[in-house]
Amino acid sequence: MKIENEGKYTDENFENYDLSDLALERCQFVKCNFYKAKFKETKMHSCVFTDCDFTQAQLNASASKNCAFTNCNFTKANLFSSKFDNCKMTGSNFKETSLDGLSIIEGDWSYISLRYGNLKKFNFRKVTLKGADLYGCNLEKRILVTLT
């Protein structure tokens, strides 16, 4: 299946798909499966992902701007050197996710689960973390303004 810009996808299976190096704009995905999908160096702008599964997906060096990933599962995903700029991540789960080099610029990360995540040196300035589960996280040398 080819993904088109401004396309709408519901209950689609993109397991093991290679979406690397694509530029996705204004796409909508609802309850889609991205298990082990590759998003290496993918650029996403104003895309919406709702209740999607990114388990073991590779988002290395991907860039998401003004996107929403609500109630998504990123268990064991690789976010190495990925960038989220003004994204809404509300309710998403990042259990055992590789966060090395992750860049977060503003956005709403409320009610997410980052349990036991390595957040050393992270900058959470202008990031909303209301109700975020940070239990057991390494918060050494991080910039954390408020948890409102």
Mean pLDDT value across residues 72-91: 96
Alpha-carbon distance values, 37 to 27, 53, 78, 138 (Å): 17, 10, 11, 28
Any idea what the Cα angle at residue 17 is, between residues 14 and 23, rounded to 5°?
100
Q: How large is the average pLDDT for residues 12-40? A: 97
Average of per-residue pLDDT values in the chain: 92
Q: Rounded distance, CA 79 to CA 125, Å?
A: 20
- Range 101-115 average pLDDT: 92
144: pLDDT confidence band, cut at 50, 70 and 90? low
Q: How many domains does the chain have?
A: 1
- Residue 97 and residue 89: Cα distance in Å, rounded? 14
pLDDT of residue 123: 79
Instruction: Report the distance separating Cα 19 and Cα 43, nearest Å.
Output: 10
Distance CA 39, CA 55 (A): 12
pLDDT in tens, 31-50: 999 999 999 999 999 999 99
Residue 52 has pLDDT above 50, yes or no: yes
Domain of residue 81: give its range: 1-17+24-148
CATH number, domain containing residue 43: 2.160.20.80
Q: Is the predicted pLDDT of residue 12 greater than 90, yes or no?
A: yes
Task: Decide: 145 and 128 in contact? Cβ < 8 Å.
Answer: no
pLDDT at 116 over 50: yes
Stretch 130-141: mean pLDDT? 85
